[in-house]
Amino acid sequence: MADINDSDYRGPWGELIKGMWRTPLGLIGVILTTVCATLMVFGLIVEVFGLTDNIYVPLLAFLVLPGGMITGLLLIPLAAFLRRRQWHKYGIAKDHLQVNLSDHKHRKMMIYFVVLTVIFFVLLSVIGFEAYHFSDSPFFCGEVCHQVMEPEFQVYKRSAHSKVVCVECHIGPGAQWFVRAKISGLRQVLAVVTNSYSRPIPAPVEHLRPARDTCENCHWPEKFSGKRIKIFTHFTNDNQTDPEVNQIALHIGGHNPVTGVFEGIHWHVSKNVKIEYKAADTRRLAISNVRVTRPDGSQDEFVKTDIELPPGTEPAEGEMAGEWRTMDCIDCHNRPTHVYDLPEERVDFGLLSKKINPEIIGIREDSLAALTTVFNTREDAENNMHNRLVELQTNRHGIDYVERYAKDLKTASDYLLETWLNNVWPNMNIQWGTYGSHLGHQRAEEGWGCFRCHDEEHTDSNGEYITQDCSTCHDEPE
């Protein structure tokens, strides 16, 4: 064992600190901590003052760099520990590590340690606070996993809830659901990294927090809404200029302050009535059992024995097969934010708004055909939507007619392309009709809407059935 000069011996603390700069691990720790801390401060300044809209700045500053700095801080004492274990190779005595505040060098070292600890603690606290808000922002939910969430994020931005932060509906208040959501988020990140995520994203969302804990923070079913008028405007291929206008008065209902009775459509989520159901498929389109518990505690169960699963659905298995689900807002308002359009609706709106010229003969039928053309990519749609509409009109009228309405056809094709891009994502297997709505019975033949239960085929032991009478939910406006 080599001898060392006593005048060169710096004591155990001095040798440890000196050794950090002489070991690769300690050097990496110091450099990693310094670089990450510096970039974190820079990223925080850039984000606070809005100097850039680059998505990677907050992602690095609030999520990646803090992990790097903490890793560096852990490497430094690890390097010192390993260095001390190797001292015997260099003939250095393993003196006990002591802090002597009467020694000015130790006092100076402790001051440095305390100051640096406070600085790092404050920096990590600020960054942690910003990371918490960043991870709860629509920007994080919609654009960090860009390819996966792009469809949901785009339709969210044009919805009635576009100013509502995602987590207010998907997580809600309280630590329990926050922790559950973050753990679930880790699984989702792993699925993205391994490219094993579902295409399209399955709906309905499993294990979603009950709507009473989220939706009802803003919306109150107990409030009496009475009747609401809804207007439907439709054109036909034979009449593109004079729309058919239908008006219905929806019985929204609620707790009637005059009669004291909970009535109307919102009766389904009355606090005095509990409605439960069992779904025979994973998309909750085929309902096998419906159970009603009334205020007096009496129950009635309606059963449909002849269940036929709608196309494209899978039978419920395992725990889901026998699960009673308590009905809440989401069972009817199943697309409250992420609303996808239907081709007929958008073409009719184009005719109504004159974005599609109704004077062009056959334009409604051809617009629908162009809009529902299967394009393999979004780029393919951008390059060919106009050509497709022109091709259809040329086959119908000839080139002279098309040239006469060339400007109108360009305006129409631009509108159709915008509509298509807002609703179809081939890379996520999202086509027209992939997601449906349970409001009303617009696609009842496919299993969507009120007729899942209101089909007069769910009967109880007394032979009573769940009615399909139209006047139960709506009638003619007065």
Where residue 412 falls among pLDDT bands split at 50, 70, 90? Answer: very high
Mean pLDDT across the chain, nearest whole number?
87
Rounded to an integer, what distance in angstroms lies between the CA atom of residue 302 and that of residue 293?
12
pLDDT tens for 183-194 read 887 788 888 888
Least confident of 73-82, 250-259, 329-338, 454-463: 73-82
Instruction: Please tell me the predicted confidence (pLDDT) of residue 87.
Output: 62
Average pLDDT rounded to a whole number, residues 21-39: 85
* CA 213 and chain centroid, separation: 17
Q: Over 90: is that where the pLDDT of 410 sits?
A: yes
CA-to-CA separations, 322 to 111, 210, 282, 345, 435, in angstroms, rounded = 64, 19, 12, 37, 25
315 - beta bridge partners? 281
What separation in angstroms does the CA of 229 have from each of 222, 226, 476?
Answer: 20, 10, 9
Mean pLDDT, residues 137-152: 82
Residue 423 predicted with pLDDT over 90: yes
Q: Identify the pLDDT of residue 271.
A: 84
The neighbour count for residue 424, using CB atoms within 10 Å, is 21
In degrees, to the nearest 5, what angle opens at C-alpha 448 toward C-alphas 377 and 457? 155
Give the mean model confidence (pLDDT) for residues 6-34.
70
φ/ψ of 119, rounded to 5, equals: -60, -50
The answer, yes or no, to whether residue 50 has pLDDT greater than 90, is no
Selection from 158, 139, 159 nearest residue 149 by Cα: 139
pLDDT tier, 345 (very low <50, low <70, confident <90, very high otherwise): very high
Nearest one of 232, 202, 264 to 434, comparing CA atoms: 202
d(CA 257, CA 249): 20
pLDDT of residue 221: 83
> Could you tell me the two tokens for 127?
């960054």
Say what the pLDDT of residue 2 is: 42
Averaged pLDDT for residues 27-34: 88
464 closest CA partner among 268, 300, 280: 300
Q: How far apart are CA 447 and CA 252, in angstroms?
A: 23
User: 145 and 59 in contact (C-beta within 8 Å)?
Assistant: no
State the angle between helix axes of 363-371 and 378-397 in degrees (0 to 180), rounded to the nearest 10.
Answer: 150
Q: pLDDT-derived band of residue 6, with 50, 70 and 90 as boundaries?
A: very low
Residue 373 pLDDT grade (very low, low, confident, very high; cuts 50, 70, 90): very high
Q: Pick the more confident residue, 181 or 243.
A: 243
Please tell me the distance from the alpha carbon of residue 66 to that of residue 32, in angstroms, as a whole number: 11
* Phi-psi category of residue 172: left, alpha or beta, with phi > 0 → left and psi -120 to 50 → alpha: left
Read off the tokens for 38.
Answer: 């510096």
DSSP character at residue 283: T
Instruction: Quote the percentage of the chain above a pLDDT of 70.
Output: 91
Mean predicted confidence (pLDDT) in 39-44: 87
Q: Is the pLDDT of residue 4 over 50?
A: no
Residue 71: is it exposed, middle or buried by C-beta count within 10 angstroms (0-12/13-18/19+)? middle
How many CB atoms lie under 10 A from the CB of residue 5?
6
Residue 402 has pLDDT above 80, yes or no: yes
Q: At 178, is the secondary structure helix, strand, or coil?
A: helix
* pLDDT band for position 442 (cuts 50, 70, 90): confident
Determine whether 152 is exposed, middle or buried from the number of CB atoms within 10 Å of its CB (0-12, 13-18, 19+): buried
The answer to whether 276 touches 268, Cβ cutoff 8 Å, is no
- pLDDT at position 368 over 80: yes
Residue 89 has what pLDDT? 62
pLDDT at 1: 40
Residue pLDDT, tens place only, 80-112? 777 766 666 665 555 555 667 777 877 887 888
CA 211, CA 268: separation in Å to the nearest integer?
Answer: 13
Q: How many CB atoms lie within 10 A of CB 311?
A: 8
Interhelix angle 65-85/24-48, nearest 10 degrees: 160
Residue 264 has pLDDT above 80, yes or no: yes
pTM: 0.79
Name the least confident of 105-119, 146-160, 404-418, 447-461: 105-119
**Rounded to an integer, what distance in angstroms lies between the CA atom of residue 37 and that of residue 121?**
11
Give the mean model confidence (pLDDT) for residues 4-30.
Answer: 65
pLDDT tens per residue across span 291-323: 999 888 899 999 998 888 888 888 888 667 778
Distance CA(57)–CA(67), nearest Å, equals 15
Question: What is the mean pLDDT of the segment spanning 172-201?
Answer: 84
Q: What is the pLDDT of residue 191?
A: 84
Higher pLDDT, 55 or 447: 447
